[in-house]
Structure 1
C-alpha cells in the first residue's frame, strides 16, 4: 500500500516534520529518583526516534514538584539543573531527524498526598476527585499567578535544552483541564465562572510562552475534547475551547479524552474498537484550521492512512503501538507491515507504571530495558533446538533463537499456534490477541522455523533429531478447585465449553471464577438464553483486571440479566445446586443450577520434564509450564530472556529447570 499521507511532510506552526506520525507522551518511570532524565530514558526514546517517528512528545513533565507531581517517579523541568538531561535527549533524537516537544504538566487534584510528601493536594476549587478520594485545597490567587509563571519557565527551559516545542497538558483531568472544566472550576475570581474566566489560566500560560520563547516557538495543547463525565467538558464545549485556543496562537490541538473518573477513555482496554475516538479529532478539525492530532487505539497502518486521507486529522499519534514496536514507522515505510508487533491493549504497560515500576510491555520485553537487551549476538556454530509448545512463550523463544542463528523445530499438538490465547472469545479482544499470534506466526515463517502442527512430542522422534537443547513450553490447563462435588458430571471447565462449543440453551448455569475469560464465557452463556448466575471468586488472573474494566464488564453482565454474587464462599456443589456462604454474615444459601462452569484461571501443565531430563543434557521449562498460569507477559518474558542469554545458561548451569 502507498502511505502517501502518513509520509507526507507536515508542519506545526513553522516547524517542519518529516512525516505525520507522532509519539504522544506516555509515562515511563524511567527518570531518576529526583525526576532527572536518565540514560535508560534516553535509550528508550532513541529506539523510537531510530524507528522513524516524526515527532516525540516527551512524557508528562512536572513544572512544580512540590504540589504538581502526579506519580512516584515523574520527569521534571522545574529547575535549571534539569536542562542538561533534556539537552542530551534532544540531541539524541535530532540525530534521526525526529523533533522533540516536552509536555508541561501539573497534577492538581489528581495528584495525591503520598506523592508530595504528605502535603494537601491543590486545585482550582476544593472539589474531590472520586478516583483519588482526597479533598484538594483551593489555590490562592497568588498561587495561580505563580503557577502561570512556572508553566512559562518550563517552556523556557525546554527551549534552552533544545526542545523544538512544548505541549501543555490540558487533558485527562489534570490541573489545566481542571481550570477549563465547569465541573471542577467554581472559583469566584477572574480564573473561574464564565467561559472566558475558565480559559484565563491557559490564556496567560500561552501568552507568556509566546512572549518569552518567541511567536514562532510551537505550542500545542492536549485537550480532553470530551471528559465523559456528567457536567464536564463535552464535544461542543471542546470545540469552543479549541477555537479559542486557535485565536490566541496555539499551534495544534492534540484531541484526547477523559479524566481519572472516566479512565478507560484515556487508556483503553481490549474492549474498545480501533480508532473509536478519532471522531473527536474529526469534530475539532471541523472547527479549527490549525493542525489536529488524532489519538486512541490506532494500530494498523492502513487505518492510520485512512484517517489522514479522509481529512479527519492532520497527524496520527501512535502511542502504545510504539511501546510494543519501536520500529512501527520504519516497517510501514519499508513495506514490512506483516512484521509489526501491534499493541493488543492488554494494559500491562499501565499496570507496571501504576505499580511504580518502569514501563513494561507484555509482548515486547525490551520496552524500558533497551540498555539491558542490546543487539542479539549471532552464534558461531549452527545448533538445533527443539521447542515443545506453540503458545506465546514457545513462539517467542523460537523467534529470538532463530534470529540468533539456531535451527528451530517447534512441536504443537494443536492445529494452530497460540495456545491459551485462542480461548479469548470477545470479538474486539480476540481480534487484538490474533494480532500477536499473527505477528509471531509471520516471524517464524520469515525466519524459517520448522513448525510441526498436530504433532505430539514423542520422545523417540525427538531423540532421533539429537537436539542441542529442548525447551518445554507446554503451557497450562484449566484450574479445577478442590470443592466437594467438583467431580459431578454436570461440572465443566471453561476450556471444554469453548473447545466443544457447549453453550447450553434455556438452562440454569452457575459460572464460578473471575478474569477476562470468565466474564466472556458468562456473557456468552447469557446470550444463548440461559439463566446465568455468576459467582465471582478471587483469582490471580482476575486481580489483573483494572477496576474500570471490571466495572464495565460487570455492567455488561447486568445488562444481560446475569445474577451477580460477590463476596461469597462456595461450600459444596450438589447435583442441582451450589451451596454458598456470605463471607461477611456467614449466612448460607443454595443457588439452583443445571450445570456449573469453572473459570478460575489455569495451573501449570508440565508432564514431560522428568522424562526428558533422563534423555537430554539441556532441558529448559518456560512460561505457564513453570508456575505463571494465565500470564501472557510472563510467558513472553520467559521465552525472550531465555533465548537472549541462551549460551550463558548452557555454559553456566548446564541443565536448567526454570527461567
Structure 2
C-alpha cells in the first residue's frame, strides 16, 4: 500500500497539518508536583514532534485543580502562572513544524477524595462510578456555570501561550462525558433532562471559547462514541451528539471509547486486534463534514494508509505507538518501516509499578529522554561477547554497536527471540513477532555478528579476546517443589509449547497464572482436551495488568475452562491432584489425567561461574538474572550497553 495518504496535508478548522498522524493525549506523570511543565516533559513531547508527528495533543490538563484532578502530577492551566511553562512546550514543538493542542479536562466523578485532599468528588449528579466507588456531590447550577468559565479561561491561556488549538476531553467518563450521558446526568435544571439540556454544558464551553479566542481558533472534542457501559453513550446517541457539535462550531471529533467501568476498551490489552475501534470513527464520519480522528491500537503504516484511503477517518491518532517509537512518522516517510519499534500493547506504560512516570517495555528512553540524551561513542576498539539471543541480549548488542563496539552474539537455538517465541495466542503472537522482527532487522542493519545454533564454551569465547561478556541465557520452567511433580503424568509448559508432548481428549489441570499459562491452556483446548486452571500466584502472573487478566479469564470461561482460585496444590498423584483452600484449609481431590506446570521461569545461568574466572567484565541480565519481564530484560540490555562500558 502506498503511504501517500499519510503524508497528504490536512486541516482542522483553519489550521493546516503537514500529515495525517496525530499523537493523542496520554498521561505521562512527567509534570511537576504542582502541575507545572518540566524540562523532561518538554523533551518527551519534543522528540515526538521531531519524529515527524503533525499534531501533538497534550495529556489531560486540568482547568480546576481543586475538584477536577484526575491524576497526581497532572498538568494545570487553571491559573496564569502556568502560561510560561506551556509557552516553552509550545515553542519546543513548533521548532519541528508540528502543531500542538492542549487537552482541557475535568475528571468529575472519575477522581477520588485522596486526589482532592479529602474533599468529596463532584459530578453532574450523585451517581457513583463503580470503578471509583465514591459517591459524588451534585454540582450546583452556579458551580456548573463557573466550570464553563474555567474551561473558557483555560482555552484563553492556551492561546496566549501560543497553542494552536484545544481539545475538550469529553470521553472516557470524565465530566463533559458525564453531562452528555443519560445515566450520569439526572439533573432537573437547565443542564439536565432532555437531550438539548444535556448538551448545554459543552455547548456553552464551545461557544464561550469561540467568542473569547476567535472563530478561527480550533476546538476539537474527544468523545467515547461507545462507552461500553450499560445505558451510557453509544453509537446512535453519539451520532446525534456529533451532528449537534458540528452545528455549534466544533472543528473536529476524536472518536474514542470506554470509561473507567470499561477500562479495557480505553487502553487495550494485546488481545485486541489492530484498529478495532476504527468502526466508531467511520460511523461518525458518515454523519458530519468536520474532520474525524480515529484511534486505538493502530500500529502498521499499511493499515493507516488503507483506512485513510478508504475514507474511514481523516486523521489517525497513534498513541502508545509513539511512546514505543517517537520516529514512527519519519521512518515511514523515509521508507524505513522495518526499523519501526512497534508497540506490542503490553500495557507496561499504563500499569508499571517500577517507575512513577511513563515507561515503555521496548523503548527504555521513553520518559527518560534527558537522561539518555546521546549515546557516547567509545574511543577504543573493543569487542563484547553476548550469550543469548532474547530481547535483553539483542538490545545490548544494538546499543553497544551504535556506540562503536564490536559485538558477537551467540544463540544456541536456531532463531532469535528467546522466550518471546513461546507466545502462541494469535493476536498477541502477531504483536510479539513485530518486536522479534524489529530486532532481527536491527541485527542485520547494524551488521552484528550473529551465530545461531551454537552452544558456547569458555575456549570459544576466549578466542575472541572480549573486553566483556554479557550472559543473557534466559530461563527454564520454574520448579514449584510440589510433592509428586516427578510423576509421569506431570510436564511443564515447554513440553506443550514446543509440542514435545501432545494430548487429546484428556482431563488436564494447568498450574500457574502468567501469560504463558494462558497460552498453554488455549493450545490444550485446541487439541481437544478438558482443561482446568488452578490459578497460583507467580512472579510472571503479577506482571499482567488487571484489564488484561480480566480479559484472559473471560476468554477462558467462554472456552469452557474451569477456573479455580484461592487454593494451593498439596500433592499430585498418577490420576488426581489434591488442592487445599487457603482460607479454610479444606482439601479437595480432583480427577485429572495430566498436570501441566506453567508457573513462570527460573534463571538458567550455567556459564557465570566459569566466565568470572576467565574475564574481568561479566554481566548477567534478564531471566538469567532472575528478572522475568520483557521490560526488565530490555531495560537491562539497554542500560548495560549504554552505561557500563567506557
Partner residue, 1:208:
208
The residue matched to 1:220 in structure 2 has which SS?
strand
Q: Is the 8 A contact 1:27 1:359 kept in 2?
A: yes
Q: Which stretch has the larger CA shift, 9-18 or 546-555?
A: 546-555
Within 2, Cα distance between the matches of 1:356 and 1:77? 25
Within 1, Cα distance between the matches of 2:19 and 2:4? 10
* Displacement of 1:622: 1.1
Partner residue, 1:646:
644
* Displacement of 1:356: 7.2
Q: Is the 8 A contact 1:480 1:493 kept in 2?
A: no
The residue matched to 2:263 in structure 1 has which SS?
helix
The residue matched to 1:144 in structure 2 has which SS?
helix
Partner residue, 2:422:
423
* Displacement of 1:405: 1.1
The residue matched to 1:343 in structure 2 has which SS?
coil
* Displacement of 1:548: 2.4
Which residues in structure 2 correspond to 1:106-505 (within 5 Å)?
Answer: 106-352=106-352, 357-500=356-499, 502-505=501-504
Give CA deviations for 1:439-486 in whole Å, capped at 9, x if unaligned: 111011100001011111122111111111111011111112011111
The residue matched to 2:61 in structure 1 has which SS?
strand
The residue matched to 2:343 in structure 1 has which SS?
coil
The residue matched to 1:597 in structure 2 has which SS?
strand
Q: Which stretch has the larger CA shift, 52-61 or 574-583?
A: 574-583
Partner residue, 2:627:
628
The residue matched to 1:590 in structure 2 has which SS?
strand
Within 2, Cα distance between the matches of 1:47 and 1:556? 38
| 1:637 is aligned to 2:641 | no
The residue matched to 2:66 in structure 1 has which SS?
helix
Within 2, Cα distance between the matches of 1:374 and 1:484? 52
* Displacement of 1:366: 0.2
Partner residue, 1:656:
none
Partner residue, 1:653:
none
Give CA deviations for 1:600-645 in whole Å, capped at 9, x if unaligned: 111111110000111112111111111212x000000000001001
Q: Is the 8 A contact 1:29 1:356 kept in 2?
A: no
* Displacement of 1:647: 2.3
Within 2, Cα distance between the matches of 1:633 and 1:551? 21
Within 2, Cα distance between the matches of 1:462 and 1:545? 37
Give CA deviations for 1:274-315 in whole Å, capped at 9, x if unaligned: 001101111110000000001011100111011110000110
Within 2, Cα distance between the matches of 1:525 and 1:627? 28
The residue matched to 1:65 in structure 2 has which SS?
coil
The residue matched to 1:204 in structure 2 has which SS?
helix
Q: Is the 8 A contact 1:281 1:292 kept in 2?
A: yes
* Displacement of 1:533: 1.4
| 1:604 is aligned to 2:611 | no
Give CA deviations for 1:25-51 in whole Å, capped at 9, x if unaligned: 000000000000000000000000110
CA 1:591–1:186 in structure 2 vs 1: closer, same or farther (change >3 Å)?
A: same
* Displacement of 1:365: 0.2
Within 1, Cα distance between the matches of 2:478 and 2:184? 47
Within 1, Cα distance between the matches of 2:503 and 2:633? 33
Within 1, Cα distance between the matches of 2:560 and 2:524? 11
The residue matched to 2:485 in structure 1 has which SS?
coil
Within 1, Cα distance between the matches of 2:537 and 2:619? 31
* Displacement of 1:190: 1.1
Within 1, Cα distance between the matches of 2:639 and 2:544? 25
Within 1, Cα distance between the matches of 2:31 and 2:639? 24
Within 1, Cα distance between the matches of 2:545 and 2:443? 33
Q: Is the 8 A contact 1:503 1:524 kept in 2?
A: no
* Displacement of 1:73: 1.7
Give CA deviations for 1:129-159 in whole Å, capped at 9, x if unaligned: 1111111111111111111111111101000
The residue matched to 1:6 in structure 2 has which SS?
helix
Q: Is the 8 A contact 2:425 2:522 kept in 1?
A: no
The residue matched to 1:216 in structure 2 has which SS?
coil
Within 2, Cα distance between the matches of 1:214 and 1:495? 64
Partner residue, 1:510:
509
* Displacement of 1:379: 1.5
The residue matched to 1:64 in structure 2 has which SS?
coil
Within 2, Cα distance between the matches of 1:138 and 1:299? 41
* Displacement of 1:502: 3.0
Within 1, Cα distance between the matches of 2:565 and 2:600? 17
Q: Which stretch has the larger CA shift, 249-258 or 486-495?
A: 486-495
CA 1:105–1:503 in structure 2 vs 1: closer, same or farther (change >3 Å)?
A: farther
Partner residue, 2:5:
5
Q: What residue ranges of structure 1 are gaps of 5+ in the alignment?
A: 649-659
Within 1, Cα distance between the matches of 2:518 and 2:195? 43
Within 2, Cα distance between the matches of 1:503 and 1:192? 61
Within 1, Cα distance between the matches of 2:431 and 2:502? 24
Within 1, Cα distance between the matches of 2:231 and 2:479? 47
* Displacement of 1:523: 2.4
Within 2, Cα distance between the matches of 1:416 and 1:146? 62
Within 1, Cα distance between the matches of 2:189 and 2:9? 44
CA RMSD of the aligned region, Å? 1.1
Q: Is the 8 A contact 2:365 2:372 kept in 1?
A: yes
* Displacement of 1:528: 2.2
Within 1, Cα distance between the matches of 2:65 and 2:540? 36
Within 2, Cα distance between the matches of 1:528 and 1:65? 56
What TM-score results when the alignment is normalised by the length of structure 2? Answer: 0.99
Give CA deviations for 1:339-370 in whole Å, capped at 9, x if unaligned: 00000000000013x78711000000000000
Which residues in structure 2 correspond to 1:27-46 (within 5 Å)?
Answer: 27-46=27-46
Within 2, Cα distance between the matches of 1:576 and 1:439? 45
Within 2, Cα distance between the matches of 1:132 and 1:503? 45
* Displacement of 1:501: 5.3
Within 2, Cα distance between the matches of 1:549 and 1:469? 39
Give CA deviations for 1:550-579 in whole Å, capped at 9, x if unaligned: 222112111221111100111111111111
Number of residue pairs the alignment of both structures matches: 646
* Displacement of 1:524: 2.3
Within 2, Cα distance between the matches of 1:224 and 1:500? 44
Within 2, Cα distance between the matches of 1:382 and 1:459? 22
Which residues in structure 2 correspond to 1:502-541 (within 5 Å)?
Answer: 502-541=501-540
